[in-house]
Structure 1
Amino acid sequence: MDSQQMMILAVLGLTVAGFLWGRFRHDAVALAALVACVLTGLVPVETAFAGFGHPAVVTVACVLILSRALQHTGAVDALARRVLPSQAGQVPAVAALMGLGAGLSAFMNNVGAMALLMPLAVQLAGRLKLPPGQVLMPLAFGTILGGMVTLVGTPPNLIVAGFRPESTFRMFDFTWVGLPVAAIGIAFVALIGWRLVPARRPSGEAPFETGAYLTELRIPEDSKAVGLTLRGFEDALDGLDIMVLALVRGTTRQNNPHRGRKIKAGDLLIVEAEAKALTESAAQHGIALDGLSAFEEEEDDDEIVLREFALLPGSALIGRSARQLQPRSRWGVSLLAISREGQRPRGRLGSLMLKSGDLLLLRGTPALLAEFARDMNCVPLDTAPVSVPDKGKAIAAAGIMTVAILASAVGLVPAAVAFAAGVLATMLTRTLPLREVYTALDGPVIVLLAALIPVAGAMQATGAADLLAGGLVDGLAQGNTVAALVVVLVVTMVLSDVMNNAATAAVMAPIALGIAAQLGAQADGFLMAVAIGASCAFLTPIGHQNNTLILGPGGFRFGDYWRLGLALEVVIVAVSVPMILWVWGV
Structure 2
Amino acid sequence: MTQDQSMILVILLATMAMFLWGRWRHDMVAGATLLACVLAGLVDAADAFSGFSHPAVVTVACVLVLSRALQTSGAVDILARHALPKSAGVTLSIAALTGLGALLSGFMNNVGAMALLMPVAMQMSGRLGLSSGQVLMPLAFGTILGGMTTLIGTPPNLIVSGFRSELETASAFSMFDFTLVGLPVAVVCVLFVALLGWRLVPVRKNGVSESFDTGAYVTEVRVPEKSKAANLLLRDIEKVLDEADAQVIALVRNEVKINAPSYGRKVLANDILIIEAEVESLADVLSSLGLKLEEAEEDEDSSEDNQEDDDKESASSVDIVLVELVVREESQLVGRSAKSMLLRTRYGINLLALSREDRKSHARLRTMKIKAGDLLLMQGPQDAVMEFASDYSCIPLAERDLNIPDKNKAITASVILIAAIALAALGILPTAIAFALGVLASMATKTLPLRSIYTAIDWPVIVLLGALIPVANAMESTGTAHLIADFLLGTLAQGNSVIALGLILVVTMFLSDVMNNAATAAVMCPIALGTASTLGLNPDAFLMAVAIGASCAFLTPIGHQNNTLILGPGGFRFGDYWRLGLPVELLVCAVSVPLLLVFWPL
Structure 1 letter corresponding to 2:495: G
Structure 1 residue 37: deviation in Å? 0.9
Q: 1:177 to 1:32 in 2, by over 3 A?
A: same
Structure 1 residue 566: deviation in Å? 0.5
Q: State the distance in 2 between where 1:387 and 1:57 align.
A: 31
Pick from 492, 498, 504 the counterpart of residue 520 of structure 2. Answer: 504
The aligned runs of 1:374-453 (5 Å cut-off) are 374=401, 387-389=404-406, 391-453=407-469
Structure 1 residue 303: deviation in Å? 3.9
The aligned runs of 1:335-346 (5 Å cut-off) are none
Q: Indicate the residue corresponding to 1:192 in structure 2.
A: 196
Q: State the distance in 2 between where 1:505 and 1:568 align.
A: 20
Q: Does 1:373 align with 2:400?
A: yes
SS at match of 1:446: helix
SS at match of 1:163: helix
Do the aligned residues in 1 keep the contact of 2:98 with 2:138 (CA within 8 Å)?
yes
Do the aligned residues in 2 keep the contact of 1:408 with 1:414 (CA within 8 Å)?
yes
Structure 1 residue 512: deviation in Å? 0.6
Q: State the distance in 2 between where 1:425 and 1:67 align.
A: 13
Larger mean CA deviation between 3-12 and 133-142 belongs to 3-12
Q: Does 1:210 align with 2:208?
A: yes
Q: 1:519 to 1:306 in 2, by over 3 A?
A: farther
Structure 1 letter corresponding to 2:47: T
Q: 1:159 to 1:302 in 2, by over 3 A?
A: closer
Structure 1 residue 45: deviation in Å? 1.4
Pick from 571, 587, 593 the counterpart of residue 555 of structure 1. Answer: 571
Q: State the distance in 2 between where 1:43 and 1:138 align.
A: 42
Q: Indicate the residue corresponding to 1:131 in structure 2.
A: 131
Q: Indicate the residue corresponding to 1:72 in structure 2.
A: 72
Structure 1 residue 306: deviation in Å? 7.8
The aligned runs of 1:92-241 (5 Å cut-off) are 92-164=92-164, 165=167, 166-201=170-205, 210=208, 213=211
Structure 1 residue 16: deviation in Å? 0.8
How far does the alpha carbon of each residue in 1:489-510 deviate from its partner, in whole angstroms, 9 at most, with x for none?
1111110001000000000010
TM-score by length of structure 2 reads 0.71
How far does the alpha carbon of each residue in 1:504-536 deviate from its partner, in whole angstroms, 9 at most, with x for none?
000001001111111111100000000000011
How far does the alpha carbon of each residue in 1:465-507 deviate from its partner, in whole angstroms, 9 at most, with x for none?
0000111111111111000111111111110001000000000
Do the aligned residues in 2 keep the contact of 1:8 with 1:37 (CA within 8 Å)?
yes
Q: Does 1:486 align with 2:510?
A: no
Structure 1 residue 39: deviation in Å? 1.1
Q: Indicate the residue corresponding to 1:382 in structure 2.
A: none
Q: State the distance in 1 between where 2:26 and 2:180 align.
A: 31
Q: Indicate the residue corresponding to 1:304 in structure 2.
A: 354
SS at match of 1:210: helix
How far does the alpha carbon of each residue in 1:434-484 deviate from its partner, in whole angstroms, 9 at most, with x for none?
111111111100000000000000000000000001111111111110001
Larger mean CA deviation between 176-185 and 432-441 belongs to 432-441
Structure 1 residue 428: deviation in Å? 1.0
Q: Indicate the residue corresponding to 1:27 in structure 2.
A: 27
Q: State the distance in 1 between where 2:564 and 2:356 align.
A: 24
What percent of counterpart residues are identical?
62
Q: State the distance in 2 between where 1:386 and 1:298 align.
A: 30
SS at match of 1:516: helix
How far does the alpha carbon of each residue in 1:406-430 deviate from its partner, in whole angstroms, 9 at most, with x for none?
1111111111010001011111111
Structure 2 letter corresponding to 1:536: C
Q: 1:152 to 1:297 in 2, by over 3 A?
A: farther
Q: 1:21 to 1:3 in 2, by over 3 A?
A: same
Structure 1 residue 88: deviation in Å? 1.0
Decide which structure has the larger Cα Rg and report it: 2
SS at match of 2:527: helix
Q: 1:177 to 1:332 in 2, by over 3 A?
A: farther
Q: State the distance in 1 between where 2:459 and 2:352 align.
A: 40
The aligned runs of 1:275-294 (5 Å cut-off) are 292=329
Structure 2 letter corresponding to 1:528: M
Structure 1 residue 302: deviation in Å? 11
Q: State the distance in 1 between where 2:6 and 2:327 align.
A: 56
Number of equivalences: 448
Structure 1 residue 387: deviation in Å? 1.2
Q: 1:34 to 1:330 in 2, by over 3 A?
A: farther
Q: State the distance in 2 between where 1:584 and 1:499 align.
A: 27
Q: 1:297 to 1:128 in 2, by over 3 A?
A: farther
Q: Indicate the residue corresponding to 1:457 in structure 2.
A: 473
Structure 1 letter corresponding to 2:124: L
Q: 1:410 to 1:24 in 2, by over 3 A?
A: same
Query: Alpha carbon RMSD of aligned pairs, Å?
Result: 2.6
Q: Indicate the residue corresponding to 1:38 in structure 2.
A: 38
Do the aligned residues in 2 keep the contact of 1:172 with 1:409 (CA within 8 Å)?
yes
Q: 1:568 to 1:306 in 2, by over 3 A?
A: farther
Q: State the distance in 1 between where 2:190 and 2:37 align.
A: 41
SS at match of 1:147: helix
Q: State the distance in 2 between where 1:77 and 1:472 align.
A: 47
Structure 1 residue 584: deviation in Å? 0.2
Do the aligned residues in 2 keep the contact of 1:131 with 1:209 (CA within 8 Å)?
no
Q: 1:297 to 1:21 in 2, by over 3 A?
A: farther
Gaps of 5+ in 1: 202-207, 216-288, 308-324, 334-349, 351-361, 364-368, 375-384
Q: State the distance in 1 between where 2:525 and 2:352 align.
A: 57
Structure 1 residue 555: deviation in Å? 0.7
Give runs of ≥4 in structure 1 deviating > 2 Å. Answer: 208-215, 289-307, 325-333
Structure 1 residue 305: deviation in Å? 2.6
Q: State the distance in 2 between where 1:555 and 1:297 align.
A: 39
Larger mean CA deviation between 298-307 and 396-405 belongs to 298-307
TM-score by length of structure 1 reads 0.73
Q: 1:97 to 1:493 in 2, by over 3 A?
A: same
Q: State the distance in 2 between where 1:40 and 1:123 align.
A: 54
SS at match of 1:304: strand
Do the aligned residues in 2 keep the contact of 1:211 with 1:555 (CA within 8 Å)?
no
SS at match of 1:168: coil
Structure 1 residue 373: deviation in Å? 2.5
Structure 2 letter corresponding to 1:102: A
Q: State the distance in 1 between where 2:336 and 2:518 align.
A: 47
Structure 1 residue 292: deviation in Å? 4.0
Q: Indicate the residue corresponding to 2:360 in structure 1.
A: none
Q: Indicate the residue corresponding to 2:582 in structure 1.
A: 566
Do the aligned residues in 2 keep the contact of 1:101 with 1:139 (CA within 8 Å)?
yes
Do the aligned residues in 2 keep the contact of 1:132 with 1:209 (CA within 8 Å)?
no
Do the aligned residues in 1 keep the contact of 2:557 with 2:567 (CA within 8 Å)?
yes
Do the aligned residues in 1 keep the contact of 2:71 with 2:403 (CA within 8 Å)?
no
Q: Indicate the residue corresponding to 2:275 in structure 1.
A: none
Gaps of 5+ in 2: 214-325, 339-350, 358-381
Structure 2 letter corresponding to 1:299: S
Do the aligned residues in 1 keep the contact of 2:72 with 2:403 (CA within 8 Å)?
no
Q: State the distance in 2 between where 1:392 and 1:86 align.
A: 25
Structure 1 letter corresponding to 2:92: P
Q: 1:68 to 1:326 in 2, by over 3 A?
A: closer
Structure 2 letter corresponding to 1:193: G
Q: State the distance in 2 between where 1:479 and 1:123 align.
A: 52
Structure 1 residue 210: deviation in Å? 2.9
